[in-house]
Amino acid sequence: LQRDLDKMTNLVEKHVERILGLESALRQRDESLQKINMQLHSKDMQYLQLHAGPDKHMLDCPALTLQSSRSLDTLSDLKLQRLEAELEGARHEAQGACQREDELKAECERLKDE
């Protein structure tokens, strides 16, 4: 019985070590995602400050943000990089759309004046 108890104790200790390691890795990943989310939010706010005039509402060009969630924990680093690249592409498209919108608004104003 003592040998069985020792084996079980060792097994439990190994499992506890493994669980602690996984928890630590999960915390590190959560912290990384939070940092990325904060950086993306900061870039969005900088963009809005640069491109939003006094007559422009924030809803004209909504900011794109990456939400930190548990579902992202299951993504590999490669998938995360792909998503970041897609997000950057979407930001560029949104920036282009806002620029085109401003140009069209200016054209409408010019036509109204004529």
User: For residue range 45-99, what is the model confidence (pLDDT) as tens digits?
Assistant: 777 777 655 444 444 444 444 444 444 455 566 667 777 777 777 777 877 778 8
CA distance 14 to 36: 33
**Cα 34 to chain center, whole Å?**
8
What is the residue range of 70's domain?
Answer: 2-113
Q: Is residue 66 within 8 Å of 40, Cβ to Cβ? A: yes
Query: Whose CA is closest to 29, among 67, 74, 93?
Result: 74
CA distance 64 to 43: 10
Residue with tokens 């759309």: 97
pTM > 0.85: yes or no: no
**Helix residue spans in 1-114 (DSSP H):** 2-51, 77-113
**Percentage of residues in the chain having pLDDT higher than 90:** 9
pLDDT of residue 11: 92
pLDDT of residue 8: 92
Number of domains in the chain: 1
